[in-house]
Amino acid sequence: MGVARYEADEAMSFLSPPPRAVLTNAFAAPLDNAVATARTCYSPRIVGAAEVSRDERARALRDRIARETYRAGHHTTLQHATFQFAVTNVSRQLLWAFLHAHPFYNSEQVSQRYVEVGPGGALVPALPEPQLSVYRSAIERQQAAYRRLSELLRRPTEEEYFRLFPARRGDGRFTVAIERKAREIARYVLPVATFAHLYHTVSGLTLHRYHRLCDSMEVPGELRLLVDSMVGAVNAADPLFFREIEDPLPAEATPEYALLAGQGRAAAAGGAPARRFNAEFDESLGGLRSRLVDFSVNAEATLSAAVRATVAATREALPDAEAIRRILSPAENRLLAGPLSLTTLSKATRALVHPHYTFRKKLSHSADSQDQRHRMVPASRPVLAAQYAGGEPDVITPGLIAGDPEALDFYRANLRELFAAIDALLSAGVPAPAALYLLPNAFPIRFDESGDLLHLHHKWTTRLCYTAQEEIWRCTLEEVRQVREVHPRIGEHLLPPCTLRRLAGLRPTCPEGPRYCGVPVWRLPLERFERRI
């Protein structure tokens, strides 16, 4: 494989429709509101937003406060104003690489699990010929492979579905459920260039940060267009809000670029360095998807002491084992079994923030896009091009595909052809951000992730549900089993939502209603957890 550049041309453009952000909801007069909140900090009363612009003198004071607070870094005032955008024509890669790669946002996006991906609908960079034909052919081939794989997986999916629900055999009402299960796995061959649409809500401060970092290494042209669209929409609503906006940082000013430059890799992607890293990383996993590599050694003692402190109890009055049971058993702490996640507001339950765990993980792009939505369990995810080695396909193979010889042969042959197309584009000098839009959802993300027990508990509970995406479910199962080994008193309480509800005495036991998985999971010990779809 030839040398591939990280940098895209500054004028990088697209033949597909550009990213578009329509402002659907926003604060009225967001700058006035920000200054009103700042003035309230030093006022004996609440200062109203209308007051800060009521006359020339008030406006002069407003402008001075806005300028001084921004330049001094006093930015909490900018968090009050919230902007909701309807976003279209953005790639799945942009969502993973930027919009969902931080904790301060909310999104509701179209699901590839439940919504069929039709022909077209993918980002296409403005490449010269013959590279453009190679790129477009690859997109069309992967979309056709998605449809064909959906067909090939229909039979094994149907067999497993009716094994779980024998009474439903022959009832056409469940055809859609079977098709969705097959598509959920077939999407592994779809390129990360595939378009998504979503509602995306951020504060004014986050939008300032988006603009400052919109020339990223991963999706530089696409991201700049999207952020410009967002900022333009807010400017149309309030031309004052971004008066202090800073220019975007060049990619060369980021720590990722500096780290790569220090290895002599700032102008190249893939190849031998990535291959060596991937092999070293995979070996460190010891055959797991997610390996526990660090944890709070005294987690159980620290947790029990923290629980006692919230109610001023002595060790004699509330021994360690009882303190842990009282705070982690849903029979004792019913907040753990409810749907509203009240745990961060409970003084005693907040004791769960003290134990910490770090996992080394390898997930497909598709599964990691689910994993990163747990925003309070942060991770250090890679510059994707740095982990692309080229050559033989580097992918995750779902169990349903691995268990069907015809589907597996098709999957492997298709991905070999796809990786050959990516390598051809890189060898022809196409910048890595453009060529790697062709990567399939199956491409693995190798990274480290850490979290406190409070937020990991929520994540593990939801992802142990048999309706969770299969790959992230298996990863969660591995994590919980490892925690049980090092902290058995904590680990025994890490259970799926149906089991928590049963222990808490809530009905119905399964909270999923018509989406019930077909397995009475609440009756099974963790050692017997297994699934195919």
Is the predicted pLDDT of residue 3 greater than 60, yes or no? Answer: no
Q: How far apart are CA 388 and CA 274, in angstroms?
A: 6
Measured CA to CA, the distance from residue 330 to residue 342 in angstroms comes to 13
Is the per-residue pLDDT at 4 higher than 50? no
Count the neighbouring beta carbons within 10 Å of the beta carbon of residue 91.
Answer: 24
Residues belonging to the chain: 533
Q: Are 290 and 361 in contact (CB under 8 A)?
A: yes
pLDDT band at 113 (very low <50, low <70, confident <90, very high): confident
Confidence of residue 168 (pLDDT cuts 50, 70, 90): confident
Q: What is the pLDDT of residue 2?
A: 33
Among candidate residues 399, 385, 392, the one with its CA nearest the CA of residue 438: 385
What pLDDT, on the 0 to 100 scale, is given for residue 6? 41
Domain boundaries, the chain: 20-112+195-262, 131-193+397-437, 295-362+446-528
Please report the pLDDT score of residue 269 as a whole number.
Answer: 62
Instruction: Enumerate helices (H) and strands (E) in the chain, giving the number of each.
Output: 20, 8
Dihedral class, residue 89 (left if φ above 0, else alpha if ψ from -120 to 50, else beta)? left
The pLDDT, as a whole number, for residue 161 is 87
According to DSSP, the β-strands at 106-109 and 82-91 are unpaired
Q: Which H, E and C letters describe 105-145, residue by residue?
A: CEEEECCCCCCCCCCCCECCECCCCCHHHHHHHHHHHHHHH
Q: What is the pLDDT of residues 186-221, one digit of tens each?
A: 999 999 999 999 999 999 999 999 999 999 888 989
* pLDDT the model gives residue 172: 82
- The pLDDT assigned to 409 comes to 98
Is the per-residue pLDDT at 270 higher than 70?
A: no
Type of residue numbered 354:
H
Model pLDDT, residue 9: 42
- Interval 478-494: pLDDT, tens: 999 999 999 999 999 99
Q: How confident is the model at residue 170 (pLDDT cuts 50, 70, 90)?
A: confident
**Rounded CA Rg of the chain:** 25
Q: In this model, does residue 57 exceed pLDDT 60?
A: yes
The predicted pLDDT at position 165 comes to 87
- Domain over 20-112+195-262 is classified CATH 3.40.50.12160: no
What percent of the chain has a predicted confidence (pLDDT) above 70?
97
Quick: pLDDT tens for 145-156.
Answer: 999 999 999 999
- Mean pLDDT, the chain, rounded, equals 93
Task: Please check the confidence at residue 10 and state whether its pLDDT lies above 80.
Answer: no
Q: What is the mean pLDDT of residues 263-285?
A: 85
Q: Using the 8-state DSSP alphabet, how is residue 482 labeled?
A: H
